[in-house]
């Protein structure tokens, strides 16, 4: 039986928790404050129609987590991966029905297998709150490869960024066989943010189906 989620904390308490983590390590926390409801709505709107199994990376205080649960994603079909220990404890308390893991996004395949969350290719979407724009090319490559190793042929990687351009360079997209399209723009978010959706290029989709 799925356990109910606890009542959502106030935005003020979430903001303070988030800001405290930023003070501890500004390079690992991509923003000064949690994402707002407009951005959360735009991110969940990009989930594929009929999506069942979803992974969230860098969940922070759980703004996207709660939005996805509210949109109809079952708690036991949501795997939440957070590297920050204090934020992980917060997420585990707030979402007891979801599978919350303290782990590294680069090790997603082993996390998915270890938690018996899904077989390779059974994940419909990865929703990311990671600061890809500020990462090295090698780290970007590792995270995206890890994500698409568990995504199905039509699966997508949903990412927000504070830049008007995609957070991954064209050279890396070509190397990984990925395409990108722009989603919504959250102008009420602080700061305003763009949503981008990454998927396999058509030739890569056909190759994944043959496997």
Segments making up each domain of the chain, as ranges: 11-210
pTM greater than 0.85: no
Task: Could you please state the CATH topology (level 3) that the domain comprising 11-210 is classified under.
Answer: Rossmann fold (3.40.50)
Mean local confidence (pLDDT), 69-88: 95
3-state class (DSSP) for residue 197: strand
Angstrom distance (rounded) from CA 55 to CA 125 = 6
> For position 191, what pLDDT does the model report?
87
What mean pLDDT is reported for the chain? 86
pLDDT in tens, 4-46: 555 555 554 555 454 454 445 544 445 545 678 999 999 999 9
Share of the chain above pLDDT 70, in %: 80
Mean local confidence (pLDDT), 111-118: 94
pLDDT in tens, 168-191: 999 999 999 999 999 999 999 888
| Residue burial 181-195, b: 16+ Cβ < 10 Å; e: rest | eebbbbeebeeebbb
Angstrom distance (rounded) from CA 155 to CA 125 = 5
Model confidence at 77: pLDDT above 50: yes
């Amino acid at each position: 039986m799925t356990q109910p989620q606890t009542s959502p904390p106030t935005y003020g308490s979430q903001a303070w928790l988030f800001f405290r983590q930023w003070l501890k390590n500004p390079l690992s926390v991509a923003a000064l404050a949690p994402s707002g409801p407009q951005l959360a709505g735009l991110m969940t709107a990009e989930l594929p129609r009929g999506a069942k199994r979803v992974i969230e990376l860098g969940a922070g205080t759980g703004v996207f987590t709660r939005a996805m649960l509210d949109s109809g994603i079952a708690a036991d079909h949501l795997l939440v991966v957070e590297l920050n220990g204090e934020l992980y404890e917060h997420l585990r308390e707030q979402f007891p029905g979801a599978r919350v893991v303290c782990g590294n996004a680069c090790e997603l395949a082993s996390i998915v297998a270890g938690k018996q969350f899904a077989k390779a290719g059974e994940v419909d979407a990865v929703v990311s709150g990671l600061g890809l724009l500020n990462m090295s090319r090698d780290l970007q490559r590792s995270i995206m490869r890890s994500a698409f190793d568990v995504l199905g042929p039509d699966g997508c990687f949903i990412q927000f960024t504070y830049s008007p351009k995609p957070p991954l360079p064209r050279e890396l997209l070509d190397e990984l066989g990925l395409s990108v399209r722009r989603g919504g723009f959250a102008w009420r978010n602080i700061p305003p943010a763009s949503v981008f959706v990454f998927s396999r290029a058509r030739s890569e989709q056909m190759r994944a189906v043959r496997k």
